[in-house]
Amino acid sequence: MMNTGALYTWRKSKNIAMLLLTGTSLLLVIGVLVLILTYTVSKGINYINWDLLTEMPKPVGESGGGMANAIVGSAILVALGSLYGIPVGLLAGVYLAQTERGWFARSVRFLTEVLNGIPSIVIGVVAFIVLVIPMQRFSALAGGFALGIIMIPLITRTTEEMIRLVPSSFREAGLALGLPRWKTTVSIILPAAFKGIFTGIFLSIARAIGETAPLLFTALGNRFWSTTLDQPIASMTVFIYDYARAPFDDWNQQAWAASFVLIVIVFALNLIFRLVTRKTYTA
Amino acid sequence: MNNKTDERAGQQDGSPAARSFSFRGLIRTNPGDFIFENVTRFFAFLVLALVFLMVYEMTVQSLPAIKEFGFGFITSSDWDPVNNLFGALPFIYGTLFSSLGALLLAVPLSVGVAIFLSELAPGWLEQPLSMLVELLAAIPSIVYGLFGIFVMIPWLQSDIQPFLMEEFGWMPLFEGAPYGFGMMAAILILTIMILPIITSISRDVMRSIPNSQREAALALGATRWESIRIVLTGSKSGILSAALLGLGRAVGETMAVTMVIGNSADISVSLLNPAHTMASVLANEFAEATSKLYVSSLIEIALLLFVMTLILNAIARAIVWRMTKRYSTAVA
């Protein structure tokens, strides 16, 4: 009797101890994450100003200046990536959603996962080999090529998932009306999944715009205004990287402000995705 | 021709198999379907071709280094661009040390958070917390690096590392000087960065365990923790694959690590010393590599990194697929 009581107390206290431990790990993790977020945001808000968004970088040693060229450069790079990343990702996703079986679909699905897991710096190395070596110089094209590869697996996966979420009665209704399969897909299924697919593309843009590693030796960076595609081009992330390592306080502050801008963009795109997909499909 | 015979066959014996066969035959005659299917198949093929192109290009470009150093590339620790001597051991060591260290810290924490989210948290709390964790996975790596340089490093340098040296300096793990920049900073920043992915996958896995298991445990008089143990046992392989995916992320993580690890091609067991990883040496030296052999050696490192993450991801995927199969058949 006593023994059972002791065992019971032991189990009870072990229970409390372990539950406390999970609670502690939650507090620790959330604490660290909230710290990073609030720190970056508050520092960034402190240092952000209109010049940062509209001015060009000043020569070394002078304070002030901004990253107007880097903002435009990032936009150009992402646009270049989207140019082939979106069609390839989208249509491959449509194919996978329609084709469940077979070794081909299975291996494409697997390689999409592989592509998603490849470190972005390795993708940069490939872009270097494919474009920088033959062209003999760093260029916006090579950077855009790298970003496109990064976008493809994300778009393919969300497209496939979003199409699969469309109820099969939609497909059956189309076929019952005598539509051929492709027309059912194009005029019924895709419009029904449009919101999810579209915001999935947002998500891949968010990922591409935050990438630094694949740009270091493809787009390289540029302290001057350049929109030429076969020349090195500036980007917000490389701007942050250079300014964070610079020995000037003023530059470091600009790095904080720039990463605030970056976080706002990335979070906005992510939130849109989450809100839209939840509204459409969890109901 | 074919369709007609099929249709007739369907009419004659009326068996479902024959009818469905003729239906498929009819659909295939639509030229639109043929074009549409093959266009989308072509783009799916592009994804496949892209991966093979990547492997092919990297292999071809690293051939000079492979020919020059052979297997010694992996076992030699001489990295001397001036004399054209290249050995990748310091970087492989640094990558393994930093990512396994990060995994060691991140897995218990992530599983703790996942338990809380899936088993204990009330509904109103669970949603926002999950969302917070997932949003943090979206923060660009460069921002973590910035945080590392300006917040974590000064803190390590002035508070943590002097303390560790004082108390544990007799251990080889804590020998050296409190630079701030070094292996310890890299491990900590990697830990933070892989927490979200391990947490969210582990949480999903635990949630997929049927409620009946928890109820059965509780009905037998188990405490809350004992019922969680049951859930954990069921999700063991899922948590393993989450850990492998996290490891894959840590191995390939570049910017944040490059910014805090101190970049030195020395092999050291001390957490305080600066080091290098495969990804960080690429980020640091690729743009400036001059000789052909230098570039080729760096590309071989990229290839090794690719193979490493490929293996990790493939194992993790295989586990997930086997698990989902098991559960879907169990439900059916």
Inter-chain contacts counted by CB atoms under 8 A, chains A and B:
263
Say if CB B280 and CB B258 are below 8 A apart: yes
Helical segments of chain B, H only: 2-13, 16-28, 31-69, 72-75, 89-115, 123-138, 141-147, 153-155, 161-168, 183-207, 211-219, 224-234, 236-252, 255-260, 278-285, 292-331
8 Å CB contact of B310 and A95:
no
Quick one: pLDDT band at residue B18, thresholds 50, 70, 90? very low
pLDDT of residue A156: 96
Nearest-angstrom CA–CA distance, A270 and A279? 14
| CA distances, A5 to each of A19, B2, B87, B162 (Å) | 21, 80, 63, 48
Largest CA distance in chain B: 92
B98-150 confidence digits (pLDDT tens): 999 999 999 999 999 999 999 998 888 888 888 888 888 889 999 999 999 99
Cβ within 8 Å of residue A271, ≥6 positions away:
B135
In A179-238, the residues whose Cβ lies within 8 Å of chain B are: 180-183, 185-186, 206-207, 210-213, 216-217, 220, 237
Beta bridge partners of B208: none
B32-84 confidence digits (pLDDT tens): 888 898 999 999 999 999 999 999 999 999 999 999 999 999 999 999 998 98
pLDDT of residue B325: 67
CA distance, residue B72 to nearest chain A CA (Å): 22
Q: Kindly state whether A39 is in contact with chain B, defined as any CB-CB distance less than 8 angstroms.
A: yes
8 Å CB contact of A95 and B44:
yes
Residue B13: pLDDT above 60? Answer: no
Nearest-angstrom CA–CA distance, A211 and A143? 10
Q: What does residue A166 show for φ and ψ, rounded to 5 degrees?
A: -70, 125
Q: Residue by residue, what is the 3-state secondary structure of chain A? A: CHHHHHHHHHHHHHHHHHHHHHHHHHHHHHHHHHHHHHHHHHHHHHHCCHHHHHCCECCCCCCCECCHHHHHHHHHHHHHHHHHHHHHHHHHHHHHHHCCCCHHHHHHHHHHHHHHHCCHHHHHHHHHHHHHHHHCCCCHHHHHHHHHHHHHHHHHHHHHHHHHHCCHHHHHHHHHCCCCHHHHHHHHHHHHHHHHHHHHHHHHHHHHHCCCHHHCCCCCCCCCCCCCCCCCCCCHHHHHHHHHHCCCHHHHHHHHHHHHHHHHHHHHHHHHHHHHHHHHHCC
A-chain residues within 8 Å CB-CB of B259? 241, 244-245
CA distance, residue A156 to nearest chain B CA (Å): 9
The whole-angstrom distance between residue B152's C-alpha and the CA centroid of its chain comes to 24
Measure CB to CB from residue A111 to each of B48, B226, B251 and give the nearest one: B48
A-chain residues within 8 Å CB-CB of B54? 118, 122-123, 126
Nearest-angstrom CA–CA distance, A40 and B144? 9
**Which of B127, B130, B133, B142 is the best substitution to test chain A (most A C-beta atoms within 10 A)?**
B142
A-chain residues within 8 Å CB-CB of B251? 119
Cβ within 8 Å of residue A41, ≥6 positions away:
A260, A263
ipTM of this model? 0.92
Residue B330: pLDDT above 60? Answer: no
Residues of chain A with pLDDT under 70: 1-2, 279-283
In B47-66, the residues whose Cβ lies within 8 Å of chain A are: 47-48, 50-51, 53-54, 57-58, 61
A-chain residues within 8 Å CB-CB of B298? 125
Quick one: pLDDT band at residue B197, thresholds 50, 70, 90? very high
Measure CB to CB from residue A259 to each of B27, B42, B143 and give the nearest one: B143
Coil, helix or strand for B171?
A: coil
Two tokens at B10? 């369907």
B233-269 confidence digits (pLDDT tens): 989 999 999 999 999 999 999 999 999 999 988 898 8
8 Å CB contact of B132 and A256:
no
Residue type, B265: A
Say if CB B228 and CB B114 are below 8 A apart: no
